[in-house]
Each structure stands twice: as C-alpha cells, then as structure tokens.
Amino acid sequence: MQSPSWSYPIVRWRKLQRKQIVFTSTIARGGGRSYGDSNFKYGSNSTNVAPNQMQIDFGRKVLRVSGGTRIIDALNYLGAHGFELFVVPGTAYATIGGCIASDIHGKNSHKHGSFSRHLKSMTLIINDQEIQITSKDTKLWKSTIGGCGLTGIIIDCEISIKPIKSGHLESRVIVVNGLNEMLKNLKTESKNYDYAIGWLDGRYQTNKGKGFIHYANEAEESSPFQVLKESQNLINGKYSFGRFINSPLIALYNVFTMKKYQRKSRMKNQIVSKREYFFPLIDLGFWNKLFGRKGFHEVQFFSPFGSEKEAEEVLNLIIKNQPVFLIGVKIISENNVGIIGFPGKGWSIAVDFRANRTSEDFVKKCHEAISRCEGSRIYLTKDWVLEKKHFDIMYPDADYFRAIRYEYDMKRLYSSEMSERLAI
C-alpha cells in the first residue's frame, strides 16, 4: 500500500480507509510529492490533469503547458528547443499545476523568486466552467497561487522561459560555522551566484554546528543540453526501513556529508550537471520510505529578514528534541502573491525528522513558536499537523481566502484533508 503523499503516515491512511464516508467534492492531484495532506481527501475524488500538452511561443518566450505535466517532462521538452524554466522545485516529479498550487521556490529563489513570478496566465475549471485568468491583481489569481488546489483545477498555464546558457553549472562550496555565519554569507554573497543552498549539521545547536553553502553559476563554457534521465529508483520497496532511522545513523550520515563537502570546499570550482544540482535525491527514488510506516515531518518555515534570532530559537527547539538530518536554508526575495502562499522576503528553513507517537504534539509546539514571530509561517504543502488557531495567525488573510471559497462555492466542490483540518 502506498501513502497518498510523500511524508503522510501509511498507518494513518489505513485508519482513514476504515471510515465509511463518501464526499461529493474533489481535489486535483499531481505527482503526489506534497509532503502533507493537501492533495487528497479520503472518500473524495482525486482528479488528475492530462499531462504533456506543451507548445512554445518562441517570439514571446512562453511555454503553454497542461497542469498535469511533470517538471522533468517540461524540462526535457524545453531543453530540446534550447530553453528551460526559470524556477524548478527540488523534485523532478512535481507537476506544473502542483508547482502553482504550492507556489514552489528553487535554489535560485534569491534572484528569481517563486514559480508564480514567471506565470503569465492560467486556466481554471470551477464547477465545470473554464476560466482563464490573466491579471495578477484578481482575487482568483491571488487565491490560486499557493492555494493548495482549493480554488479549482488548473488545466493549463502560460509561463515565461529562458534560453539555456549551458547544460552544466560551475559550483563552489563554502564551509561555515553555525547558522549566523551561514545567513550572513548568504545575504552578502548569494548576489554573486545564480543558485544557492545552505545545509547545516542537525546534530548540534545552531551556534555550534558546522555547515556549508553550495553556490553555483551557469558554466561559462557552453555545453549541450543533457536529457534528464528518469530515477533509478534505488529505494522502491516496502516501508521497512524506519527502525534504522536513529540518532547513530543520522550522525554517521551527517559526518559523511560534512566531510564530503569540506573536501569539495578545498577544490577549485567544479562542473556539475543540472540534474545533480537541482535534484540530488532523484536516483534514490522513494527515499521517503526510509522513515517507515509512520512517515516523517518536515517543519519548513519562512522567517522574514530581521527575525533571525527567533528562527534560531525554533531550530534549537527542534534539534534538542529530535534526531535531525541536515537542515536546509534558502534565501528568498519575493513579494508574497498568494493569499495563503509561502514565499516572501526572508529565509526558508527546512528540518526533517521521523514521526512517532509524540511527534505531532511536538510539531504543534514548533508551530506555536513560529506563530509568535510576526510574519513567519510554515509551508502548507509540507505539513499534516497544523491547527486552525496557528494557521489563522500565520496567514492573517485566511478569512479573505475563506470568503473567496464561499463566493465561488469552492468549499462544496474542492476539499482536502488539509482544508477540513484548517476549516478553509
């Protein structure tokens, strides 16, 4: 049995299936890479949008693409014509519609913002009516961007594309001591690079642990586009690995990773493929199964510039109480477009740890701490725990989103486990 999303507990999914409940609503479902419960509802219909309908307008440098098209397929189609997307997520198997519904950001979020910045238009189906949205000032646009599929089904869109400079990147690794040094380096140095991602060793408090920043620019020497190969699916078995995810194994993994990148930091700039840099876990396949049947949590939160101290307090809270792999840090430069969208001008910080009997209550404590910091919020597409009281604090325009849902009868038509949990 497969979990309906990337981190959702298979044991909880089985409990839902025992319920004799049938709903009349639906929810669009893309690649199933959402970590939380935003892309399914037990007893409802999950709608998949037709994939791989693509056409390039070469004069406008725009791709018209169906919402069900996977990122890997869009990149391969564009690459064959000498183009690429401005922003891609960390998985090649998200769909275009999913990228809009989650308003994803990539490793170049400090320069190119989130996915929605490059969106020109989109077509929604609401109650069997096709509605084309071209104005970014409309409430349908603002509620659909980052709206977790709750405003309708995104059947296609137009998105800006750019010419490929090179099929490779020239990367550089910088070793840093602690979170503060990492944030300072990202803030001053990232402007000199096209891509930037920071990783912090999760075994120590943030002021003690080492970390590294992986910068990259387009390679100066032009190289041909390389077709992105499908995953080798090195992990594609049962959910039988969870018992091995423990503190000693995590410590070993972190030591190995830190030594690997410390060696790289002593080398000159290295040439890496875009597949390797953008999608480092692609060949592992279903790596989520490593965490076992109880799933895992990713506490990914946005913290605006100026609230670094509060962000560090949240991280230290997690590190003291959970065995943590590397902590991912990105700098984002984006005016928040979506009413319940994630990106803004500040930091995106992500922490993964295995779910257990007490982890949900602990994650709620993290949410409480995040909600006390003005402007901070969690990434809805990565969560299956958040409570309504914290959601309404993190997203102060939540009632406006609810009003739009009511106006267009979306609450009856489109719902998910997340929308029921948050009463939106």
Residue 2 pLDDT class (50, 70, 90 cuts): low
The pLDDT > 90 percentage for the chain reads 65
Mean pLDDT, residues 372-385: 96
Q: Which residues pair with 349 in a beta bridge?
A: 301, 329
Window from 35-44, 192-201, 297-306 with minimum mean pLDDT? 35-44
Q: What is the pLDDT of residues 109-130, one digit of tens each?
A: 999 999 999 999 999 999 889 9
Q: What angle do CA 182, 338, 103 make, to 5 degrees?
A: 60
Provide CATH 3.30.465.10 ranges for the chain: 47-165+394-422
CA 165 from centroid of its chain's CA atoms: 25
Angle separating helix axes 359-371 and 308-321, nearest 10 degrees:
170
Residue 339 has pLDDT above 60, yes or no: yes
Q: What is the pLDDT of residues 148-185, one digit of tens each?
A: 999 999 999 999 999 999 989 999 999 999 999 999 99
Q: What is the pLDDT of residues 11-29, one digit of tens each?
A: 565 665 555 555 567 888 8
Residue 405 has pLDDT above 80, yes or no: yes
Q: Report the candidate in 172, 157, 257 with the shortest Cα–Cα distance to residue 216.
A: 172
pLDDT at 234: 76
How many Cα atoms are found within 13 Å in the side-chain-facing hemisphere of 405? 22
- As a whole number of angstroms, the distance between CA 174 and CA 176 comes to 6
CATH dotted code for 47-165+394-422: 3.30.465.10
Mean pLDDT, residues 132-139: 92
Q: Report the candidate in 348, 379, 378 with the shortest Cα–Cα distance to residue 190.
A: 348
pLDDT at 154: 95
Choose the most confident range, by mean pLDDT, from 207-211, 318-322, 364-368.
Answer: 364-368
CATH class name, domain 168-387: alpha beta
> Are the beta carbons of 321 and 180 closer than 8 angstroms?
no
**CB-count burial class (<10 Å; 0-12, 13-18, 19+) for 354:** buried
- As a whole number of angstroms, the distance between CA 333 and CA 24 comes to 40
Distances (CA, A) of 110 to 24, 49, 194, 367, 420: 41, 31, 8, 25, 34
- As a whole number of angstroms, the distance between CA 137 and CA 44 comes to 31
| The residue to which tokens 């910080």 are assigned | 349
Q: Report the candidate in 402, 284, 338, 290 with the shortest Cα–Cα distance to residue 105.
A: 338
- As a whole number of angstroms, the distance between CA 373 and CA 366 comes to 11
Give the amino acid at 230: E
| The residue to which tokens 């990122």 are assigned | 71
pLDDT at 342: 95
Mean pLDDT, residues 199-224: 86
Q: Report the candidate in 340, 327, 344 with the shortest Cα–Cα distance to residue 419.
A: 340
Dihedral class, residue 336 (left if φ above 0, else alpha if ψ from -120 to 50, else beta): beta
Q: Report the candidate in 270, 248, 263, 277 with the shortest Cα–Cα distance to residue 212.
A: 263
| The residue to which tokens 């309504």 are assigned | 388
Structure tokens at 147: 């709206």
Structure tokens at 289: 């199964």
Structure tokens at 94: 């998200």
> Are the beta carbons of 41 and 25 closer than 8 angstroms?
yes
Specify the pTM.
0.93
User: How confident is the prediction for the chain on average, in pLDDT?
Assistant: 89
Q: Is 133 helix (H, G, I), strand (E, B) or coil?
A: strand
Q: Report the candidate in 368, 284, 281 with the shortest Cα–Cα distance to residue 318.
A: 368
pLDDT at 294: 85
pLDDT at 1: 46
Distances (CA, A) of 293 to 246, 284, 348, 358, 409: 15, 18, 27, 15, 36
pLDDT at 18: 54
- As a whole number of angstroms, the distance between CA 238 and CA 222 comes to 43
Residue 279 pLDDT class (50, 70, 90 cuts): very high
Mean pLDDT, residues 119-148: 94
- Provide φ and ψ at 274, rounded to 5°: -65, -35
Residue 267 has pLDDT above 50, yes or no: yes
What is 43-111 written as a DSSP string?
Answer: TSEEEPPPP--EEEETTTTEEEEETT-BHHHHHHHHHHTTEEES---S-TT-BHHHHHHHT-B-TTHHH
pLDDT at 27: 87
Residue 303 has pLDDT above 70, yes or no: yes
Going by DSSP bridges, is the β-strand pair 296-304/377-378 parallel, antiparallel, or unpaired?
Answer: antiparallel
Mean pLDDT, residues 331-347: 92
Contacts of 320 (CB under 8 A, 6+ apart): 205
Provide CATH 3.40.462 ranges for the chain: 168-387
